[in-house]
A and B are shown apart, each in its own frame.
Chain A
């Protein structure tokens, strides 16, 4: 039964549909809706795990299932589950939109699942657009309409611009090769790799993904959108959405990887620009979400290093880094969401005294920030080490050196966060943070994951290697 292969997608689609019906059927009921969404997304993780071994082609070859896509589907459904965990009280979104909020969240996840499996250029385009449009709406859902609207408009304008560039690129690519399937493209491309139409088409096609990945020069939306969107949506964009885009960029590059020095140079330039710009701009940010936005740009730069190193090792390191990012970024956002004052964004200085208010959250923040900064023994260090090893193996010493300098620069603002949380004094002592018991367990589990994977990353490395190998 071939449709069984399509299990996770079908399931998420049905759940999204269910929320749509529900939103017409009855008014929102915060608590009940949250429990429902939690249970349904949890079941989604189980179903994705059950379909981990699925392999095959669907829809006339436009849709491919292999270990690569299935692992990322698990990661995506897991990311969705984590985000839903944070939605216990989404105060920033008006009550009447709550059910639509879940609807769009599930639709977006569905689109990303389609994206990691898509093999046809048009399927890729459609999936990417579906996920983007859900996000445009999610961003504007913020109660403070001006903030959300401004963020949404900026996101939307940059997004359609990137899409148009991408479509132009795809058209050029089709014109040069006559191929629309990735596997065909991989065969035809080597012959035409010297022609401008093919190369520029390829470059412009990547533009659309660079937009999603927040790579320079398509990073302009990131800071404003992160700042203006509701916290949970920002967390979703920063975690699940990034993982999906990293996956699809790896897939595309792996398909067209002809050891083209031109492509490597371009990617290297973009990677360096993203890292440097992200880290330097993050230094002066006071709004936590803005700061994390710039840090995201920097991390996209690090991921690009892994991708451009190529080969199984390079792709595996990028996969590892994507999975690590999911955990560590989410942990930071968990703290941000819990601490955010009603209707406003969390300022860095407002972290002051966190250590006294909630030692667990302070510890979670410290471990995740150290992980983002790449300090051992955390998962983030292993990720960076893996990526840099791959690049060094290819002889990209200068690139690694620049990345390392960036790592030191980034320490500056990461330490400011830790300093605020542990050593800062607030004028009035805010009340202790009350975390429900399940959230405490979740936080503890996230901390443990980051530390254990830092000390014993072998299983995760094996997984990443297997995933990367299934691409080749």
Chain B
């Protein structure tokens, strides 16, 4: 552990990278809210500095093998000391670069997208808050610190989703997202405390070392791992806490791109990667993670196959891809999971940003309407969309192909072939739903008859000067991300070297599977694409998917496997109407109600007496007395029980 050294250049860079967005947030909130351009400029400048710093760090530390930790004592609680600081290792540096890059691009994109919104400055303030929380989360050196920023990230996402509070449902969505992720976070905190009590130090490096296996009995270790994984489930919207993410899509599209695809929800998977050695100590827990990842992946893919809202399709797709990463990690493919996290951040942000252009132009989220409206006439967004969908479907030479292969290779090594089969099924489904959207958008039914001009009364928004002016801010982030998606796959080798160090090449140790696996996967992807084209793309296609022909499946998928119904039932019936009403009834109706009923019927002078004689206060006191008597009786019972 290196103590704080102010002159240390790397250290200064780290502080600069994390703190500049916070400074921007405070400045905007305190001073510049009235001046839109200045606020946006501050926020953009801060995130650009962060991005520059993260690149610098990446370059400086590319060849450093040992993780660097800068920490100082933060809280001394009971007998344990909780450090506060930064932990720089390959995975955190990689994630830092991804986060700051996507933040930067999304903020540039938002310049056009949010222009004219009354809350423009506030939007940028929250964006900066998010950037600060997220970069700090990524670099946290202890689990408690990570947890605090984890919550701050959730809070800023709550603020950003609820940002458009003119829409009522947006606020409901915000609440749902907040409560659902909180449920996961409580589990995380419980696990964290459990680890803290046993290991005595929440420093990530210490948890990851093999000592923690010695300090914790294996049962407790598995339990703690599962509890911490609960936080991942909540944040990354995995089964069974998955339904908040599609609902959170009500917020502005750039927010969806940033939070709900590339960075915030990926924080869950990042945590998994961060604590990978710790989780790996418990094979039982890893098996459960693999199961949850698989279930989430398949469920979300099926939901994506029937959704009509373009953002919802990508939201389901995000859940399913995150599940895919968790499968990879849980199967032991550390590099595969992190690599897919990296590529996914790029192409999923691209998908959202492209969709944002369509939504911004036609003011609808429905893919059929967008297709009819003539989405294919926007050349650059369409090309970018094709690139991103190709990557999502796992087609070469896009980045998604390489990372998916890596995960499948890891799955092939896992204990049971069922996981690999599920993974391959996922590849097929993913390719299908990605190209379903693409085909609907690009080959609308009326395309043959009316190749130009608005159709169906859905005229594109008039090309006013504002839109022309903002198109540059729309286009550049798309182009950059598209190039990234195109090129990132070829950096698999160097990245693997960076993450795993020397001599741990992943593809070497399973030569035989590597032979047939890529071809099978590619074949399945192409089959998915082909099916989508046959159903939605080709001339005279029925435009009805095979799922929709089966009413049962359509209902099941479009109602999210009835998960929401279950939550609704649970929360509404049992908690809201059941317990609370019961207590409130006891409180209001039985006691207050009768007091009021009695006392209202009497004269004001008699009120006091009526109140006393109504007997209700005696009833309450009787309860108090009975409880005390029971508690006293417990003493004798316990005593005779032989304590």
Give A residues with C-beta under 8 Å from B: 146, 149-150, 153-154, 157-158, 161-162, 165, 194, 196, 199-200, 203-204, 207, 216-218, 220, 223-224, 261-262, 265-266, 269-270, 277, 280-281, 283-285, 313, 370, 375-377, 381, 385-386, 388-390, 392-393, 397, 400-401, 404-405, 407-409, 411-412, 415, 419, 422-423, 456-458, 461-462
- CB of B9 within 8 Å of the partner chain: no
Could you list some 28 contacts between A and B, CB below 8 A? A149-B608, A194-B639, A196-B635, A217-B623, A266-B634, A280-B575, A280-B580, A281-B583, A283-B580, A284-B576, A284-B580, A284-B583, A284-B584, A285-B584, A313-B78, A375-B182, A376-B147, A376-B151, A381-B151, A389-B77, A392-B193, A392-B194, A393-B197, A400-B193, A401-B190, A411-B179, A461-B75, A461-B76
Task: Flag if A390 contacts B78 (CB, 8 Å).
Answer: yes
Task: Flag if B190 contacts A265 (CB, 8 Å).
Answer: no
Task: Flag if A376 contacts B152 (CB, 8 Å).
Answer: yes
Contact of A415 among B178, B575, B581 (CB under 8 A): B178
Task: Flag if A220 contacts B171 (CB, 8 Å).
Answer: no
Contact of A377 among B152, B178, B189, B628 (CB under 8 A): B152
Q: Which residues of B contact A277 (CB under 8 A)?
A: 583
Q: Which residues of A contact B639 (CB under 8 A)?
A: 194, 262
Given A392-B197, A422-B165, also A408-B583 (CB < 8 A): no
- CB of B579 within 8 Å of the partner chain: yes
CA distance A161 to B623 in the complex (A): 12
Residue of B nearest to A227 (CB): B592
CA distance A86 to B503 in the complex (A): 69
Task: Flag if A423 contacts B171 (CB, 8 Å).
Answer: yes
Task: Flag if A157 contacts B621 (CB, 8 Å).
Answer: yes
Contact of A281 among B151, B182, B197, B584 (CB under 8 A): B584
Task: Flag if B75 contacts A375 (CB, 8 Å).
Answer: no
- CB of B587 within 8 Å of the partner chain: yes
Q: Which residues of B contact A389 (CB under 8 A)?
A: 77-78, 193, 196-197
Residue of B nearest to A162 (CB): B624
CA distance A199 to B643 in the complex (A): 15
CA distance A240 to B611 in the complex (A): 30
Given A203-B631, A377-B151, A461-B75, also A220-B620 (CB < 8 A): yes
Q: Which residues of B contact A261 (CB under 8 A)?
A: 638, 643
CA distance A439 to B38 in the complex (A): 30
Contact with A along B64-90 (1 / 0, CB 8 A): 000000000011111000000000000
Residue of A nearest to B631 (CB): A266
Task: Flag if B182 contacts A411 (CB, 8 Å).
Answer: yes
List residues of B (577-601) whose CB comes within 8 Å of A's CBs.
579-584, 587, 592, 595
User: Chain B: how many interface residues by the 8 Å CB criterion?
Assistant: 58
CA distance A157 to B611 in the complex (A): 12
- CB of B477 within 8 Å of the partner chain: no
- CB of B360 within 8 Å of the partner chain: no
- CB of B422 within 8 Å of the partner chain: no
A273 to chain B, nearest CB (A): 8
Q: Which residues of B contact A270 (CB under 8 A)?
A: 631
B76, B190, B638, B643 interface centre (most CB from chain A within 10 Å): B190
Task: Flag if A409 contacts B575 (CB, 8 Å).
Answer: yes
Q: Which residues of B contact A200 (CB under 8 A)?
A: 632, 635
Contact of B587 among A199, A281, A390, A462 (CB under 8 A): A281
B453 to chain A, nearest CB (A): 40
Q: Which residues of A contact B638 (CB under 8 A)?
A: 261-262, 265
A423 to chain B, nearest CB (A): 4
Residue of B nearest to A355 (CB): B165
B132 to chain A, nearest CB (A): 12
Contact of B581 among A204, A284, A393, A456 (CB under 8 A): A284
CA distance A177 to B611 in the complex (A): 41
CA distance A358 to B130 in the complex (A): 24
B74, B165, B576, B631 interface centre (most CB from chain A within 10 Å): B631
Task: Flag if A458 contacts B624 (CB, 8 Å).
Answer: no
Task: Flag if B632 contacts A203 (CB, 8 Å).
Answer: yes
Q: Which residues of A contact B627 (CB under 8 A)?
A: 216-217
Task: Flag if A419 contacts B179 (CB, 8 Å).
Answer: no
Contact with A along B612-643 (1 / 0, CB 8 A): 00000100110111111001101110110001
Given A313-B78, A411-B179, A422-B162, also A218-B624 (CB < 8 A): yes
Residue of A nearest to B151 (CB): A376
Q: Which residues of B contact A376 (CB under 8 A)?
A: 147-148, 151-152
A221 to chain B, nearest CB (A): 9
CA distance A223 to B620 in the complex (A): 13
Known contacts A224-B592, A419-B171, A456-B74; 20 additional CB pairs below 8 A are A146-B607, A150-B595, A157-B617, A196-B635, A196-B636, A220-B624, A262-B639, A262-B643, A266-B634, A269-B631, A280-B583, A283-B580, A284-B583, A313-B78, A381-B148, A385-B189, A392-B196, A408-B186, A422-B165, A462-B76
Q: Which residues of B contact A400 (CB under 8 A)?
A: 190, 193
Q: Which residues of B contact A458 (CB under 8 A)?
A: 74-76
Contact of B183 among A161, A207, A265, A408 (CB under 8 A): A408
- CB of B155 within 8 Å of the partner chain: yes
A285, A386, A389, A405 interface centre (most CB from chain B within 10 Å): A389
Contact of B628 among A158, A203, A381, A393 (CB under 8 A): A203
Residue of A nearest to B581 (CB): A284
Residue of B nearest to A199 (CB): B635
- CB of B175 within 8 Å of the partner chain: yes
A217, A392, A456, A461 interface centre (most CB from chain B within 10 Å): A217
Task: Flag if A375 contacts B155 (CB, 8 Å).
Answer: yes
Q: Which residues of B contact A412 (CB under 8 A)?
A: 179, 575
Task: Flag if B175 contacts A419 (CB, 8 Å).
Answer: yes
CA distance A354 to B540 in the complex (A): 56
Q: Which residues of B contact A280 (CB under 8 A)?
A: 575, 579-580, 582-583
B147, B587, B638 interface centre (most CB from chain A within 10 Å): B587
Q: Which residues of B contact A377 (CB under 8 A)?
A: 148, 151-152
Task: Flag if A404 contacts B611 (CB, 8 Å).
Answer: no
B562 to chain A, nearest CB (A): 22
List residues of B (348-394) whose CB comes within 8 Å of A's CBs.
none
CA distance A269 to B632 in the complex (A): 13
CA distance A262 to B643 in the complex (A): 9
